C-alpha cells in the first residue's frame, strides 16, 4: 500500500517540476527575460500570489500566462491531494498496526521480549520464530521498524530502558527478556529496570566488554552472552576439533538428514503417581530418542545419565533424535 502511495507522490512531484520547467522556458522564450526573472514570473504565476510583473508581456505572453495558471491549478490540486492522502494513510496504517500489536501483546503469556533489533536481536527473533515461540521486539529506531513492519514480528516502538515501554511489551506476563542492545550501559539499565518490575523473569543480556559481565550479573541478568568471544572461540575450535564442532552445529539445524536436541519437563511426560527411572520411561523404545542429559530441580546438570536415575518434579531431560523422532516424541506426549 505504501508503495502505491509513494508512486503517486513521485508522479505529483514530477508534474510540479514539469510545470515549473515549462513556465521558466516559456517566459524566457516569449519575453526574452533572463532565467532569474523567468523563475520569479513562473513562481508568482503558478502560486497565484499576485506580485508585480518584472517584464512587460505582450498578447502572446498573456495567453501563455493564462495557460500556465490553468494547468498549475490542476497540478497543485492533484499534488496537495496526493501528499495529504499519503501522510494520512501512512499515519493511519501505523496507528492500526500499533493498536493491533498492543492488543495481541495483552493476550500474551509466557512470551519473550527482545530489546533491540540489530544483528543479535534479529538472529534471536528468527530462531524463536522457527521454534513457534511468542515474542515481542522493542526497538526505538522508526526506520528499522518500518523496514520489518510487514513481517510476522510484533514491534513496540520506544526505549527499552523505560518502564512504560517494558510494560507495553507485557513484561509482567513475560517469561524471558533478551536485551541485545549495542551498548553495555544500555543493556545494564534494561536489566536493572526489568528485574525491578518482574523478579521472576529470566533475563539474558548481550555484552561487548568482559568488564561488563560481572556488572550485568550483579544487576540481575541470569545469563550474559559475549557474541565476539563466542565467535572467536568457535573459529578456533574449527581448527582444533573441526568435526566435533560441525557435528554440534548440526544438532540445532532442522532438516531431514540432521539431528535435533530438545529439552522436556518431566511433568510433561509422567504424572508422578510413583517415582520412575529413565529405564522405566524407556523413551528410546517408545520414540527412538536418546536421553543425553538431565537437569535436577537444583539446576545441576548430569551428562549421559544412567538408566536407574529417578525423575524428580521440576526437573528436565535433554533428548537427542532425528527430526521425525522428535516429532513422534511431541505427538506421544502432546508437547
Bridge-based pairing state of the strands 202-206 and 223-225 = parallel
Q: Please, what sign has the CA dihedral across residues 319, 320, 326, 329?
A: negative
Query: Torsion angle of alpha carbons 63, 69, 70, 74, nearest 10°?
Result: 160
What is the dotted CATH code of the domain comprising 108-231?
3.40.50.720
What are 132-158's pLDDT values in tens digits?
A: 889 999 998 888 887 876 667 888 888
Q: What residues does each domain of the chain span?
A: 2-100, 108-231, 258-333
What are 165-179's pLDDT values in tens digits?
A: 999 899 999 999 999
For 2-100, give the CATH class.
mainly alpha
Whole-model pTM over 0.85: no
The answer to whether domain 2-100 and domain 258-333 are alike in fold is no
CB 136 within 8 A of CB 154: yes
pLDDT for the residue 57? 75
pLDDT for the residue 83? 73
Exposed / middle / buried, residue 8 (Cβ in 10 Å: 0-12, 13-18, 19+)? middle
pLDDT for the residue 65? 82
- Which CATH number among 3.30.70.100, 3.50.50.60, 3.30.70.1450, 3.40.140.10 corresponds to the domain 258-333? 3.30.70.1450
What are 83-123's pLDDT values in tens digits?
A: 777 666 665 556 666 777 778 888 888 999 999 998 899 98
Q: How far apart are CA 37 and CA 40, in angstroms?
A: 5
Q: Is the pLDDT of residue 272 over 60?
A: yes
Q: Is the pLDDT of residue 26 over 50?
A: yes
Task: Select the more confidently predicted residue: 201 or 60.
Answer: 201
pLDDT for the residue 176? 94
pLDDT for the residue 252? 61
The pLDDT confidence band at residue 2, using thresholds 50, 70 and 90, is: very low
Q: Residue 8: how many CA atoms within 13 Å on its side-chain side?
A: 16
Q: Is the pLDDT of residue 1 over 50?
A: no
Query: 26 is written with which cell numbers?
Result: 516559456
Q: For 143-190, give the DSSP string.
A: HHHHHHTTSS--EEES-TTSHHHHHHTTTTT-SEEEE--S-HHHHHHH
What are 274-324's pLDDT values in tens digits?
A: 778 888 888 888 888 899 999 998 888 999 999 888 888 888 999 988 888
Looking up cell 526505538, which residue turns up? 140
Task: Select the more confidently predicted residue: 52 or 313.
Answer: 313
How many Cβ atoms are within 10 Å of 299's Cβ, its own excluded?
Answer: 7
Radius of gyration of the chain (CA): 32
Average pLDDT of 202-225? 91
In sequence order, which residues have a C-beta less than 8 Å from that of residue 295 and are 6 or more positions away?
Answer: 263, 301, 302, 315, 316, 317, 318
Amino acid at each position: 500500500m505504501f508503495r502505491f502511495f509513494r508512486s503517486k507522490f513521485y508522479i505529483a512531484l514530477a508534474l510540479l517540476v514539469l510545470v515549473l520547467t515549462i513556465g521558466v522556458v516559456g517566459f524566457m522564450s516569449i519575453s526574452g527575460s533572463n532565467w532569474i526573472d523567468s523563475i520569479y514570473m513562473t513562481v508568482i504565476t503558478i502560486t497565484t500570489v499576485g506580485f508585480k510583473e518584472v517584464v512587460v508581456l505582450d498578447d502572446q505572453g498573456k495567453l501563455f500566462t493564462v495557460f500556465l495558471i490553468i494547468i498549475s491549478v490542476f497540478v497543485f490540486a492533484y499534488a496537495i491531494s496526493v501528499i495529504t492522502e499519503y501522510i494520512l494513510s501512512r499515519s493511519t496504517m501505523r496507528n492500526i498496526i500499533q493498536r493491533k500489536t498492543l492488543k495481541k501483546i495483552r493476550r500474551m503469556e509466557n512470551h519473550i521480549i527482545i530489546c533491540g533489533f540489530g544483528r543479535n536481536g534479529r538472529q534471536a527473533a528468527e530462531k524463536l520464530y522457527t521454534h513457534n515461540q511468542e515474542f515481542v521486539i522493542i526497538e526505538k529506531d522508526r526506520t528499522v521498524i518500518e523496514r520489518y513492519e510487514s513481517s510476522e514480528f510484533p514491534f513496540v516502538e520506544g526505549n527499552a530502558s523505560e518502564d512504560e515501554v517494558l510494560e507495553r511489551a507485557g513484561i509482567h506476563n513475560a517469561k524471558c527478556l533478551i536485551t541485545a542492545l549495542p551498548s553495555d550501559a544500555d543493556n545494564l539499565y534494561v536489566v536493572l529496570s526489568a528485574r525491578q518490575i518482574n523478579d521472576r523473569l529470566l533475563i539474558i543480556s548481550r555484552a561487548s566488554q568482559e568488564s561488563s559481565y560481572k556488572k550485568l550479573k550483579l544487576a540481575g541478568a541470569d545469563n550474559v552472552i559475549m557474541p565476539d568471544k563466542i565467535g572467536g572461540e568457535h573459529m578456533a575450535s574449527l581448527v582444533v576439533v573441526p568435526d566435533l564442532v560441525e557435528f554440534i552445529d548440526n544438532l540445532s539445524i532442522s532438516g531431514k538428514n540432521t539431528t535435533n536436541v530438545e529439552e522436556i519437563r518431566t511433568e510433561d511426560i509422567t504424572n508422578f503417581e510413583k517415582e520412575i527411572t529413565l529405564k522405566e520411561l524407556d523413551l528410546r523404545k517408545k520414540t527412538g530418542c536418546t536421553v543425553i542429559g538431565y537437569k535436577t530441580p537444583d539446576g545441576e546438570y548430569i551428562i549421559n545419565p544412567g538408566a536407574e536415575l529417578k525423575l524428580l518434579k521440576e526437573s528436565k531431560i535433554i533428548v537427542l533424535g532425528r527430526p521425525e523422532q522428535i516429532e513422534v516424541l511431541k505427538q506421544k506426549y502432546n508437547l
